[in-house]
Structure 1
Amino acid sequence: MTELTETPLLLKAARGEKVDRPPVWMMRQAGRYMKVYRDLREKYPSFRERSENADIAIEISLQPWSAFQPDGVIMFSDILTPLPGIGIDFDIVESKGPLFETPIRTQEQIDKLHELDPEKSLPFIKTILQTLSSEINNKSTLLGFVGAPWTLAAYSIEGKGSKNYSIIKGMAFNQPEMLHKFLSKIADAIAVYVRYQIDCGAQVVQLFDSWAGYLSPQDYETFALPYQQQVVRQVKETHPDTPLILYISGSAGVLEKMGQSGVDIVSVDWTVDMADARRRLGPDMKVQGNIDPGVLFGSHDLIRDRIHDTVRKAGNEGHILNLGHGVLVGTPEENVRCFFETSKGLKY
């Protein structure tokens, strides 16, 4: 197969180059709304097996590519994947989510953590990304992704999902020095992981700080933003030309601060009007998003109307069309198809 050398559309937009339409992909575009994924899950019930067995992860990553031809193909993985590589083990239980048998609660545990060696602890990532790169052959942009430090620390300290984050916030307010050391260690590991993904073929990398939206703006500035900046700074030192995206759910209160992280693109959730987000982030920041995933349960006319509205508000440059969160379970596949076909039919 001859390798295509033309820069794919999403990568062009992410770099700030002129494009003739907004590129489009969806967060969680591979997953439980697709029958082919549910069938595969029956065969491989363990999430970690699905995400850490290269052959399975490649197949899942390519399911939406085969079905809809999005402008971005994101590897099927999990934000927690690198944690065992620094000494924090976990399991993912179907319907319960991640569980940490020994949550991080002491300085001694933090001191025992080691640097990430992705070649050693994450060899499947190279296989996944290199194979995906070969398969899509620059007809689409290959996306990698990682969790951001606050969110990974929150999972590791809480020991599971949380509704109020009381344990990590208790540490933040009672033992801030210990938490800062932990966040810095995670930031160093994540920077190594981002660079590894890029070296393995990722053309754009998205950082998910899923739980940072539950911080007050003051605490976001103290415990989330500096460590986002630490990751971005280290990555940009070695890979200055790879665009980075930052996504936070529930980010309306910290949108401007997201723009201070050093990333190239801020992914906007659906609780903010896109025109307002553009105004708040300023003309130099590129944006991604931000259609409510619930719209995909509506009529095709509604889906088309919302796409046109969002694209009009985002303007004709520096915008990657996406949802404001991941595709919801139960979303009709024909509505996802309508979303992609409408988006790919646009012209600036």
Structure 2
Amino acid sequence: MNAPLQNDTFLRACLRQPTEYTPVWLMRQAGRYLPEYRETRAKAGSFMGLATNRDYATEVTLQPLERYDLDAAILFSDILTVPDAMGLGLSFAQGEGPKFAKQVRDEAAVAALAVPDMDKLRYVFDAVSSIRKALNGRVPLIGFSGSPWTLACYMVEGGGSDDYRQVKSLMYARPDLMHRILAINAEAVAQYLNAQIEAGAQAVMLFDSWGGVLADGMFQQFSLAYSRQVLARVKTEHEGQRIPRLLFTRGGALWLDEIADAGADVVGLDWTANLGRARARVGDRVALQGNLDPNVLFAPPDAVRQQVRAVLDSFGNPHRADGGWDGHVFNLGHGISQFTPPEHVTALVDEVHRYSRHLRQPV
């Protein structure tokens, strides 16, 4: 039996319920900018050695919570575990990012694709259960996956890309093959997120990191349609508790209205979006998450605090004139950089809590 939750501020903000302050967590909050993470990774021997070991994954997930007053933990894993379980052979060369041994670029490769046996991802679910237990109710645990489109980009390109040439070529030349890949990915991702929820994740996030590289029209057809399929299949409740679902499309502010109708409870925004205007547009459909530029964290702490206040001012007091409540989860507009000074993050987290309390005071 898991311990009762002591701090549910993040979950309440996701569901647009009143909160005493704006909750904060950071994408990639467990990562290379922390010296303690680098030590654990050295012990593990490799990134996948870290991600596939339940005890190491638990240790690094909790490290930022020991240092900062964060309102949520996020599972330490990688977005590419699902295609790896499909047999594509994921590896990480030092300083080079992910690579797949096999690419999915032709009919034969697409025909060979199948939704993986979730047992191949048991190490992820074991880590979720272990982290949830170790948190002991301190804050909620977020599970996650890459979106069907973002996973497909890596599967077709064979790794990261500067121009997305291979995946876009396949999409335009053989949309039938692209849709087949995406349908398999959507089914796999839905099963994967549901298994994380069953293992103890209290919210789940879909990272559509590469959605914003698509042309208008193509985004709706090849990215959003499949994110919508996943969200429709993911559990909204488990053991009597509501499970919020978050969707983050990097570069997606252009399609905010459509993303807000995709079935998520929370829409994440990158730093190119105006948070106040976004709030006005989505109304009471979804909560918003974001959206400080991660590079702000290279500025001195006073400048960090100033930019934090600017983001919170842009969203405004979450209390609406009609008595309702608009949810805001403070986050970066993308993952934290590995070169970030850890002490600057302290300034960010503390200022979010301090200033958001101030904004809630009656005028």
What letter corresponds to residue 218 of structure 2 in structure 1?
D
Structure 1 unaligned residues grouped into runs of 5+: none
User: What's 1:244 paired with?
Assistant: 245
Secondary structure of 1:325 counterpart = coil
Match of 1:254 in 2: 255
Question: Which letter does structure 1 place at the counterpart of 2:103?
Answer: P
The residue matched to 2:246 in structure 1 has which SS?
Answer: strand
Report the Cα offset of residue 113 of structure 1.
2.3
Q: Using a 3 Å threshold, how does the CA distance of structure 1 residues 48 and 225 change in structure 2: closer, same or farther?
A: same
Give the equivalent residue in structure 1 for 2:105: 105
C-alpha contact (below 8 Å) 2:2/2:132 kept by paired residues = no
Say whether residues 1:47 and 2:47 are aligned partners: yes
1:278 corresponds to? 279
Partners of 1:6 and 1:40 in 2: how far apart?
Answer: 28
The answer to which of 211-220 and 336-345 deviates more is 336-345
Distance 2:350 2:266 in 1: 24
Alignment CA distance shift 1:198-1:236 (3 Å): closer
Counterpart residue number, 1:339 = 348
Whether contact under 8 Å (1:213, 1:254) holds in the other structure is no
Instruction: Provide the rounded CA distance (Å) in 2 between the counterparts of 1:5 and 1:34.
Output: 26
Q: In structure 2, how many angstroms separate the alpha carbons of the residues matched to 1:295 and 1:63?
A: 22
Percentage identity across paired residues of the two chains:
36
- Alpha-carbon distance in 2 for matches of 1:284, 1:182: 30
In structure 2, the residue corresponding to 1:24 is in which secondary structure?
coil
Q: After the TM superposition, which of the residue ranges 83-92 and 312-321 deviates more from structure 2?
A: 83-92
Q: Which one is further off, 12-21 or 106-115? A: 106-115
Deviations along 1:38-97, whole A, 9 cap, x unmatched?
222333341111111111111111110111131010011000012232333221212111
TM-score normalised by structure 2 residue count: 0.91
Partner residue in 1 for 2:152: 153
Offset of residue 5 of structure 1: 4.8
Shift of 1:166: 1.0
Residue number among 315, 318, 321 corresponding to 2:327 in the alignment: 318
Q: Which residue of 1 aligns with 2:226?
A: 227
Partner of 2:323: none
Instruction: Give the residue type in structure 2 aligned to 1:299.
Output: P
**Which residue number in structure 2 is paired with residue 186 of structure 1?**
185
Q: What TM-score results when the alignment is normalised by the length of structure 1?
A: 0.94
- Paired residue type of 2:76: F
Counterparts of 1:45 and 1:135, CA distance in 2: 23
Q: Which is worse superposed, 180-189 or 311-320?
A: 311-320
Q: Give me the CA root mean square deviation.
A: 1.9
Aligned to 2:134: 135
Report the equivalent of 1:165: 164
Counterpart residue number, 2:290: 289
Q: Do 2:113 and 2:181's aligned partners in 1 also have CA atoms closer than 8 Å? A: no
Equivalent residue letter for 1:204: A
